[in-house]
Amino acid sequence: MPGKIAVRGAGPVGCVMALLLHAAGKNVRLVQRKAVQGKAPLKPIALSHASRLILERIGAWRALEATPISTIHISQQGAFGRTCLSAADAGVPALGYVVDYASLLNCLLSRLEDSGIRIETDSGDALLVVHAEGTSNALKEKNYAQEALVALVTTSPVAARTAWERFTPEGPLALLPLGGRYCAVWGMHPERAQALCSAPEAEFLLALATAFGGRAGQFVAVGERNHAPLALRVRPSRVGVREAFVGNAAQTLHPVAGQGLNLGLRDAWDLAQVLQDAQDPGEARVLQRFAALRRLDAMASVRITDFLAEAFLGANPLAGLMRGFGLTALDICLPARRFFARRMIYGTSALP
Ligand SMILES: Cc1cc2nc3c(=O)[nH]c(=O)nc-3n(C[C@H](O)[C@H](O)[C@H](O)COP(=O)(O)OP(=O)(O)OC[C@H]3O[C@@H](n4cnc5c(N)ncnc54)[C@H](O)[C@@H]3O)c2cc1C
């Protein structure tokens, strides 16, 4: 059918892409290879304020149970220096909102249903195929030799609205508030991640307290735990002949600083904007405009997350000192804090 756009992959980016195109009056078909999983392993997603604006546009925000983040506390284990970013610094109601991946997906699936968009198994003929199938093993990868250990942790006092990012010699450790508990995302050597995933509760809590310290209170219990491999995969070109790539299909990042999905939603937003007035959505000129629009935002996000994933590794005291000065300088310089926070929230995309 003329004008048809097929979106392949009903993950969060594919669902948002289909909903944005549908809202713009486009003829869109959403295609998923296998049945969509309503249940997925625990994975906390810190949505930025910009992502909230996109989700509001498609009516998917109000039903989401999200825990707002008003402060992000950044520190390093075994050396001085810390930075505190606040929502007020960035001029937004919250620096981010933590949701579970499965809850977000379920919310988007019900928006699709409300909008009359069915998930199909065949993309048929399309003028444009938008790839949102998630990460691809075919892409060249930079392996971080790390896995992310994910765990739901209860603390005393209970988690409120502060998120914590602590750089440890073995990898970054984030504690994200989620419904009164913390969801920990901890990068570490794959063997240790597997061992801690199945370790007795007391052993796990001790390891966590040793790495994190006492700033977030006392760690008293751990619930669901899982682990996932980490790599950087970037597609050399995000467009091809009548095809465009968005979300993890275009770039898969280290989860440090929670950028991957936020970047993917900005991909979807920008592609929807570019396609708005396009007569032929698969025309090379239109797709090149999209690629040019996304280049800077994607490249900056890749560089920042790649830097943060590795810059704090190891226990070299001199490097620790330098990093400490960096964190302290950021902490005392409001314009730098504001720039950093706004860059993490909005990227370089033109948003609603
Ligand atoms: C531990 C961890 C924590 C994270 N935390 C954050 C965070 O705080 N903030 C953030 O922004 N990001 C975070 N991320 C990154 C985020 O999870 C991803 O960027 C995001 O899930 C990408 O969404 P996507 O829709 O592109 O891909 P996916 O979520 O992978 O979805 C792709 C979908 O496509 C389907 N599919 C695959 N192949 C095909 C095919 N051939 N045809 C049709 N369908 C297909 C899959 O079944 C799947 O449903 C985190 C990642 C990890 C590992």
Domains of the chain: 4-66+101-139+232-346 (3.50.50.60), 144-231 (3.30.9.10)
Closest by CA position to 230, among listed 141, 124, 99, 344: 141
Q: Is 20 in the pocket of ligand 1 (CB under 6 A)?
A: no
Q: Is 187 in the pocket of ligand 1 (CB under 6 A)?
A: no
**Start-to-end CA span in the chain (Å):** 30
Would you write out the chain's pLDDT as a tens digit for each of its 352 residues?
445 999 999 999 999 999 999 999 999 999 998 776 667 899 999 999 899 999 999 999 999 999 999 999 999 887 788 899 999 988 889 999 999 999 999 999 999 999 999 999 987 899 999 999 999 988 988 888 899 999 999 999 999 999 999 998 888 999 999 999 999 999 999 999 999 999 999 999 999 999 999 999 999 999 999 999 999 999 999 999 999 999 999 999 999 989 999 999 999 999 999 999 899 999 999 999 999 999 999 999 999 999 888 877 766 777 777 888 888 888 888 888 888 888 777 776 544 4
Ligand 1 centroid from CA 10, angstroms: 9
Query: Which residue CA neighbors atom 4 of ligand 1 most closely?
Result: 255
d(CA 266, CA 246): 9
Which helix (H) or strand (E) segment is 15 a member of? helix 12-23
Pairing of β 218-234 and β 119-120: unpaired
Q: Is 51 in the pocket of ligand 1 (CB under 6 A)?
A: no
Ligand 1 centroid from CA 217, angstroms: 31
**Which ligand 1 atom is the nearest neighbour of the CA of 261?**
11
The pTM of the full predicted model, rounded to 2 decimals, is 0.94
The CA distances from residue 322 to 141, 168, 187, 195, in Å, are 29, 15, 22, 32
Q: Is 345 in the pocket of ligand 1 (CB under 6 A)?
A: no
Best residue among 107, 252, 261 to mutate for probing ligand 1, ranked by most atoms within 8 Å of CB:
261
Enter the tokens of residue 72: 């992000």
Q: Is 96 in the pocket of ligand 1 (CB under 6 A)?
A: no
Best residue among 7, 42, 45, 54 to mutate for probing ligand 1, ranked by most atoms within 8 Å of CB:
45
Report yes or no: 18 and 2 within 8 Å, Cβ to Cβ. Answer: no
